[in-house]
Amino acid sequence: MQSYRNLLLACYALLVVASLFLLTRLKFTFDFEQFFPQGDADWEFFKNYIKDFESDDNFLLIAVERRDGVFEQSFLEKFHDFTLKAGELPHVTSSTSLTKMQYPLKTPFGITAIPAIHIDDPSYYASDRERVLQDKRFVHNLISDDGTALAVVLKTVNQSTLPQAQELIGALNALLKKYDFDEAHLLGRAYFQTEMVRMEMREISVSTVIAALLASLVLFFIYRRWRMVLVAMVGVGLSLLFFLGLLSALGRELNALAALYPILMCIVGVADTIHLSSKYVDELEKGHDRETAIRTTMREVGLATFITSITTAIGFASLLTNRTAPIQGFGLNAALGVLAAFFIIYGWLWAILPRFGSEQLVRYTSEYAFWGRFMAWTHRFTREKSRSIAWVSLGLLAVCLLGISLINTNYRIKSNLPRGQKITADFLYFEKKFSGFRPVEFAVFPQNGHKADDFEVLREMDKLESHLRTYPPVKTLASVNDLYRSIRAMNHGNRPEAYRLPDSVEEFRQIRRIAERVPASYSEVLLSKNRDKARIAGRMQDVGRDTVALMQASIEQWWHENTDSTVAKFKITGTGVILDKNSAYIRDNMLQGLIPSVLVVALIMALLFKNAQMLLVFCVPNVFPLLFAGALIGYLGIPLEAGIATVFSIVFGIATDDTVHFLSSFKLNRSRGLSVEESLRVTLAETGKAMCFSSIILFFSFLVMLFSIHPPSVTVGLLVSATLAGALFCDLLLAPVMVRWLMKDE
């Protein structure tokens, strides 16, 4: 038998080498489109819609600040040079800034133009500043309302990939170093892609190291033997290494949820190790030799551990019902990881444990003996206080249902940005000084033979634009109307009050003759080539999903009541709308996806135990933690969004472990002829101790996420840790009470 064990360890060594090689090929990704549900009607509409225009997130903003005001010659010259150089960066199609803008001017000799800022003549600066800060085309778009910051708007290629984004941001950072600006802030798709992938890599590295250290410390506190710690952590390390190598071999890409993998592998691996090694030590204490002890352990606890791995994998597999690729990927990868961890740990412990005696694995200190006394007390307490436990459980159920009713979904983009990082500071800077990040997009469809640039259609668009500007979060808007407004303002000396649509059809026709001579590139991103549709595009501040939903409902109601639908119809679209809809979909789908998972696991338990009462004992303690998690989200006022909703799959997947071990041990003891009460006593004395050990590991392992710079990860860590502590309460106190009520001695 020893030769087989040595052969298995040699195979593990080869797999380590292969996995290390595959790690060098592991890929990271962060593409916004992955988070859109495939087949969704709004997403399909938007994909077709942007074929006539451009994507609403193909921009990169660079804000440059001069605290004493931007109207200073050397600063303006430097900023203008930067604007020109930025337009030459890779994957940039155009660059725009205030120093490139001009006002058209009508003269007796034809149309000419004057610069918005006379960079070379400071004597104009005062009048330039006054005019520019009154121009709603520029304020919050190209200049801050206090005149202390200017922005360069870079148009990038549509739906840029991660390599393109990394190349662009690298070149941009190198360019910025050549200029001595007081401050420089970035915002846009390419910047988000680059920084979020960097965060993913940092999160995986940090969570792996801290999870390993915390798990090692807790294991040493429990067993007081470094050999046991080494056995457990080598097994966990092997399972994590093989798992990542497997993902690389399968071509799986790691996304924003990948930071959970090291923690999950650590939790699952350590929990399996504790249950198997505790049983092995218990068998040695009964006087069995090492070979008999490992054989009994693998036969009795190995099956229960395998079942817990199956139920945990099913919990994560519930995410496969989601239509969003990153969520599906996380569910599939996590399920694979759980199963891989079981087989790796099982083989590792079978090969390594028989090399050690019980004294080499556990030091029998007073602290270790405490757990035996605590399990004996738990047995007496559940027997003597069964009614009290039941009433407290019902009271907690009512409290949980009340908490669930308080859940809100008003999440904000900034709540998902990393703490203390430049990307977050930059996002908040644009929220304060400019128009924010969130795209605003309205599709315009002319009706009854009208074209999108007919005077009647433009007037309906103008009504909607005027209404949109009454909403404080909406800071900038652009449409083909801007062309006609600009020409009219030109005809009236560029006075701010003249910047509006013509008052009559006759005036419009005069302006249109001028507009037709303007290069098509000026309006092609706002008006389709065949003039069958137009767009109103802009940006708004991050006010929260629910607030935006109320705004959208109000806007839709307004246009139905105040615009002529026989002339033009409107539709709200854009990536912001789809992300909001998708977040709500992910949230609802995750919760609904748990129902079949619970039923599948319940079916497995029914086949295993062949007892309806045992099935009820299994379900109640595992549904309770889900309600507890929902109540915490409600009471703490945490907006429920996609990242937070993963809590339920994690809790259900992991909470079932202890229940399965508890009921498997109880059934085994009953099969040996023990009474219900004696079976409960032995189960709590043996399995209950391992349940406590594994729950302590679970609690502290998820607290590793407190070290994350990603706020949703911190929240998930706190929620799961607290919820799994509640799950242990259910398994140790509520499950024995239910067993006594439902199971009777024959």
Residues 6+ apart with CB under 8 A from 91: 156, 157, 160, 164, 165, 167, 168, 190
Higher pLDDT, 515 or 560: 560
Statement: residue 547 has pLDDT above 60: yes
DSSP secondary structure code for residue 474 in this structure: E
Neighbour-count burial for 551-586, b at 16+ CB within 10 Å, e otherwise: beeebeeebeeebeeebbbbbbbbbbbbbbbbbbbb
Statement: residue 593 has pLDDT above 70: no
Sequential DSSP letters for 659-698:
HHHHHHHHHHHHHTT--HHHHHHHHIIIIIHHHHHHHHHH
What is the pLDDT, as a whole number, of residue 110?
A: 61
**Residue 30's pLDDT band (cuts 50, 70, 90):** low
Of the listed ranges 324-333, 514-523, 582-591, the least confidently predicted one is: 582-591
* CATH number, domain 367-405+611-746: 1.20.1640.10
Distances (CA, A) of 315 to 44, 250, 324, 655: 30, 22, 17, 10
Give the mean pLDDT of the chain.
83
Best CA proximity match to 199, nearest among 37, 36, 424, 438: 424
Let me know how many helices (H) and strands (E) the chain has, helices first: 25, 12
3-state secondary structure of 114: strand
- Among 1.20.1250.20, 1.20.1050.10, 3.30.70.2190, 3.30.70.1440, what is the CATH number of 432-575? 3.30.70.1440
Distance, in Å, from the CA atom of 79 to the CA atom of 98, rounded to the nearest integer, reads 10
DSSP secondary structure code for residue 252 in this structure: P
Q: What is the mean pLDDT of residues 659-672?
A: 82
Best CA proximity match to 580, nearest among 746, 710, 338, 409: 409
Distance, in Å, from the CA atom of 533 to the CA atom of 523, rounded to the nearest integer, reads 12
Statement: residue 183 has pLDDT above 80: yes
Q: What is the mean pLDDT of residues 130-146?
A: 89
Per residue in 43-55, pLDDT (tens digit) is 778 878 877 777 7
The three-state (H, E, C) secondary structure of 277-332, written as one string: HHHHHHHHHCCCCHHHHHHHHHHHHHHHHHHHHHHHHHHHHHHHHCCCHHHHHHHH
Q: What is the mean pLDDT of residues 449-465?
A: 93
Statement: residue 666 has pLDDT above 70: yes
Place of tokens 């600006």: 181
Q: What is the mean pLDDT of residues 547-570?
A: 92
Say if CB 648 and CB 629 are below 8 A apart: yes
CA neighbours within 13 Å on the CB side: how many for 550? 8
* CATH number, domain 59-156+160-194: 3.30.70
Q: Which amino acid is at 682?
A: V
Per residue in 718-741, pLDDT (tens digit) is 888 888 888 888 888 888 888 888
What is the pLDDT, as a whole number, of residue 720?
A: 82
Domain limits, CATH 1.20.1640.10, in the chain: 367-405+611-746
Sign of CA dihedral 449, 453, 459, 461: positive
Distance, in Å, from the CA atom of 658 to the CA atom of 654, rounded to the nearest integer, reads 8
Distance, in Å, from the CA atom of 265 to the CA atom of 247, rounded to the nearest integer, reads 13
Statement: residue 175 has pLDDT above 90: yes
Statement: residue 31 has pLDDT above 70: no
Place of tokens 């990868």: 333
Confidence (pTM): 0.76
Per residue in 338-361, pLDDT (tens digit) is 888 889 999 999 999 888 887 888
Say if CB 264 and CB 285 are below 8 A apart: no
Say if CB 596 and CB 318 are below 8 A apart: yes
Q: What is the mean pLDDT of residues 596-607?
A: 72
Overall residue count recorded for the chain in this entry: 746
Per residue in 371-424, pLDDT (tens digit) is 778 888 888 888 888 889 889 888 988 998 898 888 877 778 787 788 888 889
For residue 328, how far is the Cα from the chain centroid?
A: 13
Higher pLDDT, 577 or 746: 577
Statement: residue 540 has pLDDT above 70: yes
Best CA proximity match to 165, nearest among 180, 176, 151, 154: 154
Quote the percentage of the chain above a pLDDT of 90: 19
Domain limits, CATH 3.30.70.1440, in the chain: 432-575
3-state secondary structure of 89: coil
H-helix or E-strand spanning residue 699: helix 689-703
Per residue in 66-115, pLDDT (tens digit) is 989 999 999 999 999 999 999 999 999 889 999 998 887 766 666 777 88
**Residue 221's pLDDT band (cuts 50, 70, 90):** confident
Long-range contacts of 452-458 (CB under 8 A, 24+ apart): 452/480, 452/527, 452/528, 452/531, 452/532, 452/533, 452/534, 453/480, 453/527, 453/531, 453/534, 455/502, 455/505, 455/508, 456/564, 456/567, 456/568, 457/534, 457/567, 457/568, 458/484, 458/501, 458/508
Distance, in Å, from the CA atom of 81 to the CA atom of 67, rounded to the nearest integer, reads 20
Residue 183 dihedral angles phi and psi, to the nearest 5°: -145, 150
What is the pLDDT, as a whole number, of residue 518?
A: 72
Statement: residue 39 has pLDDT above 80: no
Distance, in Å, from the CA atom of 151 to the CA atom of 185, rounded to the nearest integer, reads 9
Say if CB 713 and CB 705 are below 8 A apart: yes
Burial class of residue 438 (count of CB atoms within 10 Å of its CB; 0-12, 13-18, 19+): buried
Among 253-257, 273-277, 501-505, 524-528, the range with the most confident prediction by mean pLDDT is 501-505
Quote the percentage of the chain above a pLDDT of 70: 92
Neighbouring CB atoms inside 10 A of 257's CB total: 24
Higher pLDDT, 516 or 291: 291
**Residue 261's pLDDT band (cuts 50, 70, 90):** confident
Best CA proximity match to 423, nearest among 258, 168, 185: 185
**Residue 35's pLDDT band (cuts 50, 70, 90):** low
Kind of pairing between the strands at 102-107 and 110-115 = antiparallel
Query: 477 forms bridges with which residues in the sheet?
Result: 538
